[in-house]
Amino acid sequence: METAVMVQDLRTLVECESPSGDVAATTRCAEVVAELGERWLGAPPQVLRTGERVALLWSWEGPQRRLVLGHLDTVWPMGTLARWPFTHDAQRASGPGCFDMKAGIVQAMHAIASLEDPSGLALLLTSDEEIGAPDSRSLIEQVAQGMSAVYVPEASAAGALKVERKGVSLYAVQVAGRAAHAGLEPELGVNASIELAHQVLAVAGLQDLSAGTTVTPTVLSAGTTTNTVPAAGQIRVDVRARTEAEQDRVDAAMRALRPVLDGASLTIEGGKNRPPLERRRSEALLARAVHAYRELGFGELGAVAVGGASDGNFTAGLGIATLDGLGAVGDGAHAEGEWVSVPDLPRRARLLAALVRPDEAAR
């Protein structure tokens, strides 16, 4: 695996901007990824559509079925490249989306291309991971059925593999009150802002840091004018939990919320978005990865638990062994200036190749 070639492939992908919310842009990027994949993997992908979204699937028949799972969308809006172009030297490459996770796509392709026998392997790349995979989740779960293991070349955490990811739940608490003139007869109104204040405190009280569960009120809105008692409002809530039991506890509590003010009413929307990737789903694969990394002469390999989610959460939720963070070594995910370690591009590709070989999958 030639480092210079991998850097050039990374440039090609970074310079095709692909913000999640721009379907046309992600479709264009999928076309570029398909061309790159056809060059390295020897065949065009199967182009799969979920709603307006495009996903790419390469697969090879055979036993010991394994899946490499990634995404081509990024958090960066169109035009970011103009002020922050792709750059690189012998140590670092930088550009929007290089770390999360276009380097991982390059590494996956080079890893698979290096295999003498890719039988039983599949590579699936989606285009809406950064917004929770609303269109791709069912496809991911369908493709993953029957897989013995899933490998996710998402960006690593300072080189460490991600063996545990929290599950994500997202809610919107809608408050309905009653409008009235704030100066003439405020007592005739039901103030949605005051009701929201009660609900914010109730929601925040659901978190349990000792269990690793965070419940965070985020976006809040209410009211129309300064002289009107607010008739409606909304609070959005982000929940992260290490276990399905904690996700279920918070979900039940959210749906049990009740209004405090007479005349107010609540509507609870949303729910569980991604199940957790629990450590028990990754431990066996981690042990093999640590051994392979050492055998390749690259030294010791660390592992971490993180709060962020990925599409690997879906496969872990199906009970499939899943190992995440196999992609780029670097830093700055979702931050301007994100970067990738250039010397680690081929190293991590070689690690992935060692893990997905049929003989390795059979151990």
Cα-Cα end-to-end distance for the chain: 25
What CA–CA distance (Å, rounded) separates 339 from 84?
A: 12
The catalytic position among 9, 128, 129, 344 is 129
The catalytic position among 17, 73, 100, 331 is 73
What CA–CA distance (Å, rounded) separates 328 from 162?
A: 12
Residues 6+ apart with CB under 8 A from 142: none
Identify which of 99, 109, 108 has the alpha carbon closest to the alpha carbon of residue 14.
99
The string of DSSP letters for 175-204 reads EE-B--BTTT-GGGSB-HHHHHHHHHHHHH
What CA–CA distance (Å, rounded) separates 279 from 295?
A: 24
- What's the DSSP call for residue 99? I
Residues 6+ apart with CB under 8 A from 216: 204, 207, 237, 238, 239
| Strand bridging mode 66-71 / 121-126 | parallel
Q: Taking the CB of residue 288, how many other CB atoms lie within 10 A of it?
A: 17
Peptide bond into 254 cis (omega under 30): no
The answer to whether 354 and 180 have CB atoms below 8 angstroms apart is no
Q: Which stretches does DSSP call E strand in 127-231? A: 149-151, 161-165, 167-176, 214-222
Asked if 246 is an active-site residue, the reply is no
Asked if 73 is an active-site residue, the reply is yes
- What's the DSSP call for residue 77? P
Could you list the active site residues? Answer: 73, 129
